[in-house]
Amino acid sequence: MNQTKTATRVQKSKKPNTLNRDNLEADIIAKAEQAFAEFGYEGTSIATIAESVALSKQNLLYYFPTKQILYKRVLDDVMQAWLGSMTKLATENLSPQDALTSYIKAKLQFSREHPWGSRVYGMEVITGAQFYRNEIKEKVIPVLRQDILIFEKWIAEGKIAAIDPTHLLFTIWAMTQSYADFSTQMCLVLNRKKLSTKDFDAAEKLIVDMVLATISIANQR
């Protein structure tokens, strides 16, 4: 008890430790992520971000020396979280059906749990990836190409229909991504403020159905 109190006092006098700084940086990044998603890069001022974490803008610039560096960190974190959440299509000995089902689940769950980050990434791509192009080239594209190779392997093995593997991946990406990027429009159609668990469940069921129906050999034209 006393020890705890002392420890607290010591921590207090010793100024913020590493953990506190990490937490603060994580907080800044989270708030920046939301701001960039809502107003775009140029539409967001570092003063606004600083205010949302109760810092002065000069103080924010102590932690992130420039706005671009902060923006890059936001995108880095989004990409890392995305790469971490996506299971490889081919890691285990799953059937194409099971592998694709869990792939779609994971990607859709990411849209649900990281809507701001998904949108920041989406806006970066829409505007031509002028800032983050190299990182996308080096870290995202190879993963997508790998996934396409899996599709081709499955086709060669006769496990799925001979659909266009590249565009199949594009459509899966598009459908799952849109549940973050276009949720505003979806909410207007559905007349609700936020997409619910039920909406995501319905989306998952349909997207899985669509993809499985597409790769089903019986359905080939």
Partner DNA sequence: GTCTATAGCCCGATAGAC
Partner DNA sequence: GTCTATCGGGCTATAGAC
Per-residue contact track with DNA, 183 to 202, x per CB under 7 A? --------------------
SS3 content of the chain, % helix, strand, coil (to 5): 75, 0, 25
Q: Which is nearer to a copy of itself, 46 or 168 (CB)?
A: 168
Q: Which range touches a copy of itself (CB under 8 A), out of 1-9, 64-72, 87-95, 176-184? A: 176-184
* Angstrom distance (rounded) from CA 122 to CA 182: 10
Alpha helices per DSSP H over 86-191? 96-113, 115-126, 133-135, 141-156, 165-181, 183-190
Per-residue contact track with DNA, 115 to 154, x per CB under 7 A? ----------------------------------------
Per-residue contact track with DNA, 21 to 50, x per CB under 7 A? x----------------------xxxxx--
| 16 is an interface residue for DNA by CB under 7 A | yes
Q: Which is nearer to DNA, 59 or 216 (CB)?
A: 59
The token duo for 202 is: 């319905």
Please give the single-letter amino acid code of residue 125. V
Please answer whether residues 161 and 100 qualify as being in contact, where contact means their C-beta atoms are separated by less than 8 angstroms. no
Give the binding-site size for a copy of itself (rule: CB under 8 A). Answer: 59
